[in-house]
Structures are given as C-alpha cells and as structure tokens.
Structure 1
Amino acid sequence: MIKNLLFMLVLFSGIAQFQASGRMKNIYAESDFTVPMNLVASNITFTSAHITWDPIPGATGYTVRWRASTSAVWLSMNIPAGTTSADLNDLTPCMGQMVQVIDNASGDTSFPLTFYTHLNYCRSTSMNLGTLYLSNVSIIPSGGLPTMVSASSASNHTDFRMNPPTHIELGIGSLNNVLSVTPTWAGLPGTSYVKAWIDFNANAIFEASEMIVSTMVDSTNPKAFIFNVPSFASITQCGTAMRVIISETEPAGPCEIFTYGEVEDYKVTFVNTNLGVDETSKPKEISIYPNPASEILYISGLSSETDYEIFSVSGQKTGAGRTSENSADIRHLAKGIYFIQLKNKENITRLKFIKK
C-alpha cells in the first residue's frame, strides 16, 4: 500500500513538473513571438526615414521610439494595429539614429536599429576577406585644400563616411586632383582592376559619367590618377560620397557583389572657392533664424536690403528675391534642406536652412 502511494506521488509530481515546464516553454515562445522583428530603414534622406517591421498576430498596436545618437531623449509615436510601418520626420541631419518598436500588448521591445541620415548608396562588397584589398587610399586636392590619407586593413566593404579624419574636401570646378591607391595581395601580387566614382550631383547614384578611375593595375604600375571636379558639383548639408573598388575581375559597375577584392566609401564635401567669400570664411555677423523655419526666414547682420537666391541640396534654384525688413518669404518651398545665397555689397554669403 505504501509503495503504491509513493508511486502515485512520484507520478503526479512528474506530471506537474512536465506541465509546469510546458507552460514555461509556451510563455517563452509567446514572448519571442511578441518581440517585433526585422526592422528595416529605407527611403533615408537628410531628415527622414521609412521604418518597417514584421507583423505580430493579434497585436493591438505598436509604439515606435527613436533618438539621435547624441541625445538621451526618446521621441515616440503610436501605430495602430494592422500597420507595420512608420515615417520618421524632422530627424537631425548627418547623424546616427536609433529606432526601436514596442508591442503595446506585451511591452516587448525590438532590438535597436541604427542608421545614418545621409545619402544612402547601393550595396557593393566582395565575398572573400583579405585576398586582395586597398591598404591605402589618398586624395591630394588642388587649390591648397587638405590631403586625405586612409591606411586600413582588409575588409569586404568599409564605409568611412562617419569617420572625420577620412573626409575629403574638393573645390568645385577644380582641376588636377589626385587619387592614389595601394593594392595589397595576401599571396603573390597579380593584376587587378580599380574603379572609382564620385557622386558629383549628390543624387545617391554613382552614374557612369561620374566615374573618375577605371584601369587595370599590378604591383609595378603607378597607382595615382588625376581627375577633375565639374562646375555643377552639388554642395549638400551632409556631403556626398566617393566609392573605390578593387577587384580581381573587372567590376561591371558600382553596385556589384564580386569574389575577391574590397570596396571603400568616403565622404566628400565640395567647396565653392570661386565665391567672393567662401562658405568656410563667411562673415560671422550674418545669420538666419529661426532654423528650421516654416514661413519667414529672418536674416540678421545685413546693412541694407539684399538680393538673395535659394537652392535645393541638389543645386537647383528654387527661389529668388530681395529681402524685406531683413527677411525672406519661404512659404512656397516644400519641406527639406536648402541654401540661401545673399549678395551683401561685394560679399556673397551662403547659409543652410531647413524648411519644416
């Protein structure tokens, strides 16, 4: 009788433990299933981005929260059930952004997604690491602008655009700028192909007309190339980019995935050295406010009414006029980033502003 009771006790204990274990597994599974997954940022501009994520069955809604990398303050918005996307606006330009999505019913939070508010380019990379790579890329600009030297180890693709020491300054319309590269092989040196593009018009596309280098190199051939900057090169708030590819086989274009080689991207800023007063040395007493602005842009530091022109970040003229009571009407502009160019006596001042 005692043995039977002990047997029944052990049996019920085992069943209880099995049921408890099953309940815990279900809880963990349900928790995993309510964590928003696969966050993706697309249509990224200087001040906006489109965020998407996978749907959670039975979700009652979501909260999207985001902040700039330099801020500790989260901004947030509520997203209704059945919607798995959000448009983020008024982001800080040229800055890293962190985004998370929260399932409102469970409170489960996604892993953070990080992206940058600058021009975003097509993907290009090699599939094998270290066999062939760029150990040094240098730019010697004409006109006395600073030289950029980037010595690096092997990678499949490296984006140096958020690394200030490797930023490049080039003069608009400048001639005889020099790009030099140092190919490095893991084994015996061989031949390879080097191609490079600069997105002169800042439209986030490396076009065929923007290719500055296309050649075959080996361990003895010179690796320095001369290129010119067109007069239509665009001055943008976050700069544009140069892409350099080295590959064992000739790349078909700037957006290729290939076997052996490396891709490196660099930030490029164009400087208008033809202005009477360059943007880097414009008079400090002239300023604009508020910034961002919605209807009227006020200008302080002007000695008289002044002619002005407004340009988009792509270099298109979007407005012109003469200041009235030290102000300019910008109500006709769409939301975005612009430059206002002021001709005050013999000086030209170029200032950036955001239309909200």
Structure 2
Amino acid sequence: YILDGVVPNESLLGITTSEGKLNAANTLQLGVNACSDCPPPIAFTVDNTTPFSAEINWSVVDGASSYDLRYREKGASNWEEISSVFPSYSLGSLLACSTYEVGLKSNCTSGNSDFGFAQNVLTTGCCELPELISADSEGDNVFFTWSEDEFVSTYLFEYRLLGSEEWISETLTENNYVLTEVTPCISYEARLISMCVDFNSESEISDIIVLTTECGSCTGSGYCSLEDVLDNGSEWLDSIAIGDIMFKSGKDENAYGNYLGGPSTSLLRGSLVPLTLVPGFTSTVYDEYFTVWIDWNNDEMFDEETELAFESTEPSSQEINGTLFVPETANLGSTRMRVIMNFDTKQGPCGPGTTAFRFGEVEDYCVEVTNINSTNNLLDGLEISLVSNPIVEAINFDIISESSIELRAGVYMIDGKLVLSETWITSAGNTNHTLDATQLSSGLYLVNVTDGNRSSTYKIIIL
C-alpha cells in the first residue's frame, strides 16, 4: 500500500520510483480499508485554524457515503455530534486557545463503523509569553524591547532595582518601554506579562532579566568571562562583606554571579578595607581557596602581579577574615572587583583551564575608588587625628567625641598583614590615646581606626 498511497507529482515522473510524495495517512487508510468493509477515517488534517474555528479534512473511505463527526473540549464528558458530513468540515463557535478532541466514523451501505481514535485540535488565540528581545543602557536611559503578538491587547511591564521587593508596574500597548533618568552603575530587574482582553486571558510571567546601567570601565566588554566555567553543585561563595558590601548571594546560576550595578562600596586610596568571605556547602564541606582581584588601573584586565587585592593564606572550609589594601596609585572612579572561591588551590582571575579549576564560584562587583578622607571623621560627633608623624616609640591619637564610644586601632604592614591591635573605650570630650610601637621595626605602616561602623586610615612612618 505504500506506493498506492502516493500523492502524484508531475515533476517526479520518470525520476523516482513513486513518481510522487509518500503519504502515510493514505497508506494506512488503504490498509484499514482492506481489513474492514466500513472502516473509520484513519486520520485527518487541521487547516485554517483561528481562535474560534478549525477546518477538519480527511481522506475518502471506500464504500462510505457520508461521515459523522464528534468533538468536545478536552476533559469534558459529553460529545457534540454532527451527522452526515463529507470529507471536510469547519468547526465553529470554539473557545480561543483551547484543545478539542475530534473523532470520525464512516457511514456505508453495508453498515456504519465505530468512531475512530480521537485526535487533538488546538485553536489559536493563546496569550503567548513575550520574549524580551533587547535591553540596552544608553546614557541615563534604559531601553526595553520585546516580541509582538497579534492577539495581545496590552503588556504588563514590571521593573525594580536589584534587591528590591516591590515591583513598579506599567500597562503598555506598545512592545517597548524607556526607563529615563536612571542612576549610573545600578542594576534593574524586569519582567513581562501579555494581556489578551479579547480572549479574557493572560500569559505566564516571563523570565526575569537583569540589566546594569552604564558604569564606566566596570561594565566594559574587555574583561575575561568565567561564566559557566566552574561547578558549584556542592560548594559556592555564600556571602561576602567588603567595605560597605554585605551581601548573601547564595548559589549562583552557572557558578557565576554578575552583580555589576548591584551591591557596591567605596574604597579609599591608601586605606585598609576589612573583608569576610563565607563558603556554602550542600552537605560535605571542602577546603576552599579565596582570591579577590581589583582592576586598579581600569584597563579591563586583572594583572596577576599588581591587582591581586587579597588571597587566603591556605585552603579552608571556614569563614575567611582579612583586609585588602587600596593603592594610592589606583585610578579614581568605578572599576571591577572579582571574587573567586576555588576548591583547594589558588587560581588566576581568568582561570587557567586546568582540571584544578573545576569546583567553586566566581562573583563580579563594581566598586568606587575615591580619594583618602581628609577629615578623618568616623561619624558626626567624633574626630580622630595623629598627634605626630613620623612616630618614635608610640602612636598618639587626639580624639574629640560627643559621647563615650569603643574604638579599635590596627597597625598593618603595607601588604595588609596585621602586626598590632588594641581596643579601648574613649570618654566624651577631648582625650588622648597612645599605642606602644616599640616592638615595631622602622618603616612604613598603615593605621586603621574604627568604631565598628566606619573607619579612617593613616599612613605612618616609624623611625
């Protein structure tokens, strides 16, 4: 029956054995006809589908004088039956974006067949989920564009700052939206819903996209990418605290967290910045190696000699605490910071592609390099200054405070290593505090004083 069911094609005459196009439905129908005096149509096609109608077409059954058709919305218990139709019938008064079951039977002079197996028919008019085609930042504007659909009446466009809980909603008739006067170097989330008023339906919510507004070299395209390089199925960078950034990211998709325009901090030239890095695990804990890279010269590369801002001393499964030093030669303005957690070994900022660089996570942030704070005010009502510099035997602080407060001073070598620390309670008014520096070798040091919220850093010379 295979060749008997061929649909002839004149262009294939004398060229192919079939001299036409094979048609599986015709072949099956011929086979069924040979087995029964009055078989039902074996299959049908659906054409000219609209939201409210569909045309059903089927092949003629030998011996059949007419056909009966039945249909129902999928899931319904009762059938609608139409008698004595011929090999084409248009179903009307259907519901948009709905699935119907359709069955056929043959009426022959020798008797009638049973209804054949039902096939599914889907009407159009579904309120389709829109596809975000583009989201671009230009100056202080953000442009969003998405796909159009003939059945969509309006779009519900929602956006918010990354990390915010409240969505801002806009009902639109066009397939685009412009967000104006945006803040530089900040991330927005956006999503869409299609509203089909004619069919009283709406689409699902689209996936959320994240867009970062222009951020100088921090968001430049020259940086090497580490997205989808590592495996964070069992271990990841759970949270970081660097300067003013205190952020719990959890497990990032594709082992890469793009937080450019998200949590940020200011880094003062010549200052020491405290940091805390916390790993996360599914169950078994592993020793991890942490590194922090900062593009101090804004060339969209991480120099392995000069831009390794912090590295852990050894692999550990515990929280890592330390400090990073901001060079006085660092370029001012926004730049990129990359935090890497890698299983067991130290790796470079772009990954060497070795088997050792397999497990862990990478996160990118924007940070702002600023000039050293000249006032040395920690908070309103508190001012600290050095009595003298260079230093001989003791470091003396002059303190003016409106209230009693706890202060901590740390003395660091230029590479960030802590060599001396002390905590004390200062009284209200004008007071003086002295740190014994007799155990320190001559040279250049950094002194950081903090009240637990903010800090000031001084460069000192010990003679």
TM-score by length of 2: 0.38
Which of these two proteins has the greater Rg computed from alpha carbons? Answer: 2
**Relative contact order, CA 8 A, sep 6+: which one is greater?**
1
Bigger helix share: 1
Bigger strand share: 2
